[in-house]
Each structure stands twice: as structure tokens, then as C-alpha cells.
Structure 1
Amino acid sequence: MNYPAADVVRKAKNKELTLGYWSVLDSPISNERLAMTGYDYIALDGQHGLLGYSGIVQNLMAIDAGHGPAGIVRVAANDPTVVGQSLDAGARGIIVPMVDTPEEAAAAVRAARYPGGGARSYGPMRAGLRVGPTPAESDAAILILVMIETPQGLDNVEEICAVDGVDGVYIGPSDLRLAVGGKSPQDPDVQSTFDAAIGRILSAAQATDKIPAIHTPDGTVARERIGQGFTFVTIASDLTHLEQAARQHLDTARS
């Protein structure tokens, strides 16, 4: 059976505009509602988010109930067990943090793909309901994005992009700004250096026909990144928007 999420993966791999939302809360009900708003994917943050493995499973189920977006997981680490569990749980793609070298990128690919292209252990659990059924079909139906967010990762970005099996590179702007010398994730004093780093990563992805992906804080910045050439763009996060909306309504009432 062809599920809409499979179309999202194909669209992303074809470098068509793919817009997503970031979720850090272990809240299946809110993620089910978010899955019905029109985003192409919902990314669950297994690194800094407030969900454990059971939360990832339950929230992927909730996203699938939305009958549209793909459930993506930023895994906690570049670790075969963590990567395999997220894919077994039904993730349509993984975002692997802190990738510094082409060897580490290749390790992420091995962890995410079955023998032939990788070393993933067979045990798809929920994934078997929607992805596959054969290992080769499963491999073709998932996304592997590696994050460029450290000084070493930036230095090696061209070689990382050239790794076979990596579908794209995902920029973590907060860590990247720190990586280029920022004193905080919003430090304006390194803006020109930060912009140059963004441009270098984008060029490396485009030169190797990889997905250029990036996180953004809001729709305005997302639109700017799309104009630059990024095709896989994530917007904000549920916790951030919850706080912003609550504060806005309180300020309006008090005024």
C-alpha cells in the first residue's frame, strides 16, 4: 500500500520543497493535530527533546494517524542501536547529529541501511506495517540526513556530502553559530562568518546532488532559506510556539 508519507520521502529526495515542523514534547495528541496542519513532515527531537524511546514510538503512531506527513527522528547519537530503534519504530527518516567526518557519515549510513548497503539488524516492528516489505525497499524508502554543526564538520563538509548513501546535510544553526566563534546561538558579531558557513554547506550539498536541509526559527526565516536554495526546511518547535502564543495572549489581555 502506498502511504502519503512515502510521497514526502520521494519529494525530499527529488529536492522539491519539503516543509516540516519540529517537536520536542512527548505529546502524541498535539503531534496528531500538528500532522493535520499541512506540513510535509514532523521531526521528533530524540537528542534534546523530552521524549524517550516509548515516546518516539507513540508520537510516530500519532503522526501516522494524521495520514499525510512523514515522521522523522533526530536520533540521540550516531549509534547503530539508536538509529535502528528509530527506524524499527517507523521513522521515515533520521537526522544524525554531530557528524564531523566522512567516516562518521558512512557509519550513519551503515547503521540505517540493511546489509548490502549497511549493517542494520532486521527487526522492523512498526516499520514493517508501512515501509518495505523487503530490506532493499525499506532502504529506498527512508531518508538519511547528517548534521553539519561543528568546526570539524564544516571543515569536512565537501567530503561528508560525497559519502554514498547520505541523502542530505542538515544545518543546526545554533551549534553552527557557536562553531564559527559565536558567544551565543544568536551572536550577531559573527553574522558574516556564519552566513559564509551556511553558503558553503549549501554549495557542497548542491554540488553533490544532496538535499540541503536547515532548521529555522520561524516562517519568515524559512522563506529566506527557501529563497537561498534550501529544499528541506524545518520551522521552529512546539514548545517555543506554546510559550510564544501564551505570552502574546497574556500581554494582549494585560494591555
Structure 2
Amino acid sequence: MFLLQHQLLRILALAAPFITLLSLWHLSAGELLWLAPVLAWLPLPLLQLWRRFVGNIAFADPRETPALLPVLLATGGALVLGERGAPLWLTLAGLFALLLHNRVLTAVPRGVREVQGAAGELLQLDFEDAGGAVRRLAGAGDRLVLFPFAGWSVYSRMQLRQLLEQLPQLSLAQPPLVVFAGAVPQWAQIMGAGRFECWGDPGAVSSQALGLWLRGASGPGGTLAQRPALAIVSGGELRFWQVAGNYRVPPSLQDCRGRLQKWLARD
């Protein structure tokens, strides 16, 4: 299922700049109605670019409000002012694409061929640290553990930026642990230097055992993807486990702050 979702997302990502450039060409010729397709297709790519390099707050916006408002404005304007022509149809296509992106293409339901998994096995599963050594959570002490969606995703970057922003308030006894499906991306190692640890899961074997791995999801360099999850390990036991239903909105640190203070706070 996710393979189809992923391919449709790629098609939309390619369609957005093409439609935007076509609309700008018509705008340059004085056809003002072509402003509507620009407002419908351009905001989300710009928002994604901002998220890639800066954003760490808006990732928890399931409605994609900064992109949705211009699309609704453009659709209303095209319906009121426009004729039944290309500007109107491209604007409606932009609205449909955004709604499809928000509700369907970024959801992560379990496929019929995906393993259900068992979170209780987390402490006994094998991972690899930055040096390639095999590690297990059973010997890692009390930890906050984050499972980002994928190393190539802007949402994973924002999730880790938010983690860094909230670290002073969390007062953790040990640095958090970030576990990627597949290899650890270079940007994550640089971002987390001295602040959180990064582990990898070659082949996503452990991710499959946990029921997180997304079948058919791969990005640049073959990097694998998984459902975003958050775990708290304390006293040799799994104390908390939460898995996201949409990779744009990973589990919130704020929602489990009380549990973090109870199990992982400094003395």
C-alpha cells in the first residue's frame, strides 16, 4: 500500500513545479486568472523547503494550514471570477492533491503483507551505533527512544529539531536515542553530536519485528522508512510505546512529558 502512496507523492512533487511554471508563463502574458493555480500548487513545496532547513514547529499541523489557506482562496477566486477553463481545473486539481496528501498519501496504515510486530521485544532487538557496533536497548540504561520516519524526510528533520529545542526542559538523565530504519543519515549525526545518539537498523530487521517498517518505502540511496514511534525504556522495561498513524505528525514529546519526568529525569 505504501509503495503506491509513495509513487503518487512523487508524481505530485513533479507536477507542482511544472504547473507553477506554466501558470507563471501565462501570468507574464497578463492572464491574471492563472494566479489561482500558482496559489494552489506553490505553497506546499515552499513550506517543505522551509521545513527542510528551518522548521521545527509546523510539523504537528495535520491540516497543513499554511498551504491550505492559499489553496482555498485560489479555489474560491477561480470559481467566482473564472470560466470553465484550464485555470479552474488546475486549481481544483491542486486542492484535491493537497487534501489527498493530508488524508491519504501520508497516512501509514498497516498493509496486509506487513508483520504486526511486538513492541515488547524492543529491548532484545539488535541495532547498530555510529561505529557499526551491535547494540541493544537492554544494556543502554533508561532512555527516551525516537523512531523517525526516514532519513530523507523533512518531517524527520523537524522532529529532531523539536527534540533539541525541548531537551533543556526535559532534564533527561541520559541523552535520547534516535533509531533510523536502515543507515543513519549524515545530517542526523551532525545535528545530534553531543546531544543525542543515533542508531541504525540495517535492513530494517528490527523495525519489522516492531511492526514499524513500511513495505515499499525507500528514498534516495535506498534509505528505508518506518512508522514514527516514541518509546520510554526504564528499569529494564518498556514503560511507554506510541506509534503515529500519519508520518507528518509523529508522537509528541509534550504529550508524554509527565512520563518522561517520572522515569527518565535527572536525580
Interval containing the TM-score (normalised by the shorter chain): under 0.3
Normalising by structure 1, what TM-score?
Answer: 0.28
Normalising by structure 2, what TM-score?
Answer: 0.27
Larger Rg over CA atoms: 2
